[in-house]
Structure 1
Amino acid sequence: MYQLTNLRKNLWATILGASLVAPPIGATPSINSDNDACSSAAAEARLKQRETALLGPSHAEAHAKARAYKCRVAKGLETVATPDAQVLAAARAQPGNSTGQWSAPFVIPVVGITSVLLNNGKVLFWSYEPTQYLNPNASNTGVAYIWDPVTRTGHSITPPENIWCGGQTILSDGRVYVAGGNLRYPDPNAAPGQDGFQGSLSNYTFNPVTETWTAQPNMATGRWYPTVTQLADNSAVVTSGFDQTGAGDITTVVELFTPAASMDGVGSISTISFHDPAGLYPYQQLILSGQMLQAGPGSTNTALLTPGTWSWSNIPNMLSSHYGLGNGILYTDASVTPIGQVFMIAGGAEGSTVIANNEWFDVANPDAGWRQYPQWLQARHNANTVILPDGTLFTVGGNSLTSSYDAPLFESERYNKPANDPTGSWVQMSPNTIQAAYHSSAILLPDATVLLSQDDNDPSAASTHQAQIYSPPYLFYGTRPNITNVPSTLSLGQTFSVTTSTSNIASVALVAPGAVTHGNDMHQRFIKLQYKKNGPKGLRVTLPKSSSLVPPGYYMLFIVDSLGVPSVATFVHIS
């Protein structure tokens, strides 16, 4: 078991120059010092030059724009970005049951760059250590936090290293598996061609019961921005990511993590294949055939990986690329015969244009190729799309320019039909009030609300980092149904009894707990189930027989009544 003492030393000057030390967390930056980039053109020029060397010109320019904006705010020349007044007025003019409702912002003192819902209903967040951000001499320091949505309280835990920008999924026993992360920040003193981000070779599992980390065998290559996908047998495929060289090369090595049987055991990692993912954080899902579908971010990266042979086969290309962090959603309808399954990919950027070019793929009819899905009301990248208990989709945050934080969007949207029905449309919902562009995250909670974590436009303000909770319109339709009895452990193919508080049940669904970062939820899965009425307040519900449709693990079981109101979820374990 690996534990790391969190060294909170403010060494920002090492990377940005002694005159540009970041203020303490939560402090208000000074705008009066001649050495301050906010008031000194020379200091700003030195800072931009250094960041250009470290991050590249486009990323450095985005940072410079963000600093300029914050300087104008500090000097009273501009107000902090908030939802447009017309947006707020329109939301207030509509009844709450049509647009939903946001809570007041509250503090979660860790930037939720990664959010994972644990099977105890709590949320695990992790991020870089803000006082060491971009310091190559302290690249391996991170922070983590466990938050309880019921009490809205939490506590800090120590991550094993800087697992920020790794990939993550949830294993069948509830452990969180994390692959890669930040081995080293860009280092201007490194050899030319080796001075960029380095991906970590590390693997860890997290035990949600004891809240401890276990080091797993290293991967063959470093990974920064990889994707991790749980397969039907509970192994996990790891693809993509910048390697450990600092050269900015995306690895083509495909690896398989096989977990140990015990919660704190050490599993194995092996190279199984080679494949060019055409970019970072590709969208991946286990599909009904037992294969893993990988799509994007490049339009031509559309392929199936077959377990066992570990061979790749092509499927039709997408209609467009979805770089710049779009969203992917898998929806399975096991209530019908034959079982239906669709994969929807939304948003991102193509070239210098942010897009709303959403598209979908019918897994059962691959020859039909990718087809256009109803478009968002606004083009956006860096957004998050969450699948809700009724099968509809909720998209929140992001921004409308290709930079990381400029032109943030506050207008959230909801798709008004189940995700497998391409005849619906997106409808504007109530606007959030915290900014949620790059490095924000959104995740479904067991009470059918959505947790939104603010972005990190100001890394120095991490201790006052904010979040909001969104209550969708269905929570205003009437009294919620309740699940009063259900087995806690289930098996594939089993028909089981559910007792409810009402006879008016319209649907039953499993929703996998989310594991999201950079808009990519690597464990999001919705499965609509078959059921029959069994007495006035009873149901007989049947699970699919295939572990390709229902990978083993913990799921939230929701019932939805005839008015569209969902219950609070009950966690069930499917073996």
Structure 2
Amino acid sequence: MINSQEYKVQYGKWDVIELPAEQRVNAIHAALLPTGKLLLIAGSGNDQQHFDAGTFETLLYDPATGQSRKIVTPSDLFCGGHAYLPDGKLLVAGGTQRYELLEGAVTHAAGAMRVKNEFPDAGRDFPKGTEFIAPDGRTYRATNAFTLPPAKKTNDRRGAVTVTASETTVWVESADVGPAGVTDQPAQYAIAGLEGPDADNMYGLAEGMTLEKQDFQGIADSYEFDPFTEEYVRVGDMAHKRWYPTLTGLPDGSVLSVSGLDGTGTILPGQNEIYDPATKTWTERPELFRYFPTYPALFQTARPDVLFYSGANAGYGPADQGRVPGLWDLSDNSFAPVPGMRDEALLETSGSAWAGPVQNQKMIVVGGGGVGESPLSTARIDVVDLNRPDPVFTAGPDLPEPVRYPNVVQLPDDDLLITGGSRDYRAKGNSHVLRAGLYDPDTNSLRAAADPTVGRDYHSAGVLLPNGQVMTLGGDPLFADKDDTKDGKFEQRLEIYTPPYLFHGPQPVISDAPGQVARGESMTVSSPDASRIAQARLIRPSAATHATDVEQRSIALDIDRRPDGTLGLAVPPEPTLVPPGYYMLFLVDGAGTPSVARWVHVA
């Protein structure tokens, strides 16, 4: 039945793709490049053995040809963040410095060491393994290399000099196994090997060392992936190490980095920073100090300097902090909560996306679960109109069943595909939701789509392809059986969804379109099907991870039907609606069937 034309016309069709064994990766991150290829970033792939061995992977996959190849991956980019830059490169920042150790598995007492330098004229680089000596003689070793900048020297108007010590934090472990390294006494530690003034000016401070559970730790490494040379290029490090950060592109082409676990496994309390693609450097923005849980879903709205936090996030952070949706004004760092969300305690691992063209400023929040390893989930779809003076969430249609980790993908006909996920945390109890639906933003309704056959949960993504299909990938269940007795296996199969609109007749054809256009300009597009074109859309490509994608947005283009048979497509002038970068141009006919996209660079 599912292969019948009648069924496919109404529900669409799913097909599983299995790559050759040597080309399979744990696709933690998926980004569609302006070459049409998919960048699948695994890093260590949530595999401790790969991490210990320094085996970090990225796969470049071409959905048009099925060809793929591995890319040299210079750092463990597992659970970093990403955003597109104006030139089409993908900024990837953060990742994994260290895997978590559960209580009982910690063999060496450890903790955060604040290292200070009171000397203003020089800093110093320290290698991994640098030793810190406690007053009682116990030794602790840095688990990573670190840099200690010079102290800051300032002069007041009277000529008085003030020196403020510089500080960096590094994770240290006891040289002794077991309780011998445990201490709850704050102390100042000497740095082994320093002599004379260096020994006086540089030292460590720690509150204590424990054998308690240790969380994942982040890195500050940043890279630009060049889609044309197909390689990672190292750029300036972030000011803070981050694991599970969100990177959100801003209208001027810069990128905001928010949240994450730092180099000691502690969630950052609110230090945020901005990347400048011109200088390839990060600048901390203390005036934008604001806390969010990890992987917060932050979207640029139509209003300058205003971001919308949908409340969706992917994990770490207390249940009573940073969970409320709202509008964050970067001009004064104010935050205005948006009320009305149903099941507001079940926003972790939810999905969110613009509903229809971004000009409408409507967003949906789909599913979600309780904080941490909660078994709770919700079938909620709620909608908010940010064009309203006082936006409030209103009820949309409920999903057929509660779900965490749903992937929500914007389609060229303005529908959104909602697919995958699981009822329980990381699909416990074999709780994968093998359902999909198509949400219509015009009618605020949900209709059934063909059922996927591959379970997707934690570490999954959905990506719109240039031909109008959708690729889903990833999935990282804890267990492989209903009774939760067998370890789960990362899902390496790909699955591709062909929406109903591709079974309604031939796709319109774009015979000619410019490769570049400026905001506020009209581009001339030729098509033999111009007479039946009902709408035109620019869709920003996805960069998704953990069922979170803050990049995708669809922009409606006004159509001018010209006497010569060409179409004049007007690009909105507002950079808040059309951030610079590469977009897929789709022409959609009256039946809702989209063309194969042409790539257009918005300068």
What is the aligned residue count?
Answer: 470
Matches within 5 A, 1:141-220: 141-187=55-101, 188-190=106-108, 191=110, 192=210, 193=212, 195-220=214-239
Once the two structures are TM-superposed, the CA of residue 123 in structure 1 deviates from its matched residue by 0.3
Equivalent of 1:411, from 435, 446, 453?
435
The answer as to whether partners of 1:117 and 1:124 remain within 8 angstroms in 2 is: yes
The AA in structure 2 aligned to 1:105 is I
Pick closer, same or farther for the CA change 1:177–1:569 going to 2, 3 Å. same
Once the two structures are TM-superposed, the CA of residue 550 in structure 1 deviates from its matched residue by 0.2
1:515-564 Cα distance to aligned partner (Å, 9 max, x none): 00001012111111111222374211111111011000000000100111
TM-score of the aligned structures, taking structure 2 as reference length = 0.73
Once the two structures are TM-superposed, the CA of residue 250 in structure 1 deviates from its matched residue by 4.2
Residue 501 of structure 2: aligned partner: 474
Structure 2 unpaired stretches of 5+ = 111-209, 313-318, 481-486
Residue 96 of structure 1: aligned partner: 8
Residue 330 of structure 1: aligned partner: 354
Alpha-carbon separation, structure 1, partners of 2:488 and 2:457? 17
Residue 398 of structure 1: aligned partner: 421
Equivalent of 2:34, from 116, 119, 128?
119
Equivalent of 2:277, from 237, 248, 259?
259
Residue 202 of structure 2: aligned partner: none
> Is 1:314 the counterpart of 2:336 in the alignment?
yes
Among the aligned pairs, what percent are the same residue?
A: 29
Pick closer, same or farther for the CA change 1:333–1:521 going to 2, 3 Å. closer
Alpha-carbon separation, structure 1, partners of 2:11 and 2:431? 23
> Is 1:288 the counterpart of 2:311 in the alignment?
no
More helix by share: 1
The answer as to whether partners of 2:239 and 2:282 remain within 8 angstroms in 1 is: no
The answer as to whether partners of 1:216 and 1:268 remain within 8 angstroms in 2 is: no
The AA in structure 2 aligned to 1:240 is S
Structure 1 unpaired stretches of 5+ = 1-88
Once the two structures are TM-superposed, the CA of residue 90 in structure 1 deviates from its matched residue by 7.6
Alpha-carbon separation, structure 2, partners of 1:122 and 1:137? 26
The answer as to whether partners of 2:381 and 2:395 remain within 8 angstroms in 1 is: yes
Moved more, 482-491 or 195-204: 195-204
Alpha-carbon separation, structure 2, partners of 1:442 and 1:387? 10
Secondary structure at the counterpart of residue 390 of structure 2: helix
The answer as to whether partners of 1:140 and 1:184 remain within 8 angstroms in 2 is: no
Once the two structures are TM-superposed, the CA of residue 194 in structure 1 deviates from its matched residue by 6.7
Residue 34 of structure 1: aligned partner: none
Alpha-carbon separation, structure 2, partners of 1:139 and 1:268? 30
The answer as to whether partners of 1:324 and 1:402 remain within 8 angstroms in 2 is: no
Equivalent of 1:530, from 558, 568, 574?
558
Residue 602 of structure 2: aligned partner: 574
Residue 136 of structure 2: aligned partner: none
Residue 384 of structure 1: aligned partner: 407
Alpha-carbon separation, structure 1, partners of 2:452 and 2:357? 31
Pick closer, same or farther for the CA change 1:410–1:242 going to 2, 3 Å. same
Alpha-carbon separation, structure 2, partners of 1:403 and 1:455? 9
Once the two structures are TM-superposed, the CA of residue 239 in structure 1 deviates from its matched residue by 0.8
Once the two structures are TM-superposed, the CA of residue 275 in structure 1 deviates from its matched residue by 0.8
Once the two structures are TM-superposed, the CA of residue 159 in structure 1 deviates from its matched residue by 1.5
Pick closer, same or farther for the CA change 1:493–1:447 going to 2, 3 Å. same
TM-score of the aligned structures, taking structure 1 as reference length = 0.77
1:314-339 Cα distance to aligned partner (Å, 9 max, x none): 132351144432111124647xxxx5
Secondary structure at the counterpart of residue 523 of structure 1: coil
The answer as to whether partners of 1:223 and 1:251 remain within 8 angstroms in 2 is: no
The answer as to whether partners of 2:366 and 2:406 remain within 8 angstroms in 1 is: no
Which protein is bigger by CA-based radius of gyration? 2
Moved more, 153-162 or 361-370: 361-370
> Is 1:304 the counterpart of 2:327 in the alignment?
yes
The answer as to whether partners of 1:331 and 1:527 remain within 8 angstroms in 2 is: no
Once the two structures are TM-superposed, the CA of residue 569 in structure 1 deviates from its matched residue by 0.4
Equivalent of 1:519, from 533, 536, 547?
547
Pick closer, same or farther for the CA change 1:293–1:454 going to 2, 3 Å. closer
Once the two structures are TM-superposed, the CA of residue 267 in structure 1 deviates from its matched residue by 2.8
The answer as to whether partners of 2:396 and 2:445 remain within 8 angstroms in 1 is: no
Moved more, 497-506 or 147-156: 497-506
Matches within 5 A, 1:472-511: 472-502=499-529, 503-511=531-539
The answer as to whether partners of 1:481 and 1:567 remain within 8 angstroms in 2 is: yes
The AA in structure 1 aligned to 2:601 is H
Pick closer, same or farther for the CA change 1:217–1:385 going to 2, 3 Å. same
> Is 1:449 the counterpart of 2:469 in the alignment?
yes
Residue 203 of structure 2: aligned partner: none
Alpha-carbon separation, structure 2, partners of 1:92 and 1:440? 29
1:256-279 Cα distance to aligned partner (Å, 9 max, x none): 111126xxxx333323421121x2
Pick closer, same or farther for the CA change 1:93–1:364 going to 2, 3 Å. same
The AA in structure 2 aligned to 1:178 is V
Equivalent of 1:244, from 252, 263, 280?
263
Once the two structures are TM-superposed, the CA of residue 402 in structure 1 deviates from its matched residue by 2.6
Pick closer, same or farther for the CA change 1:184–1:483 going to 2, 3 Å. same
Residue 245 of structure 2: aligned partner: 226
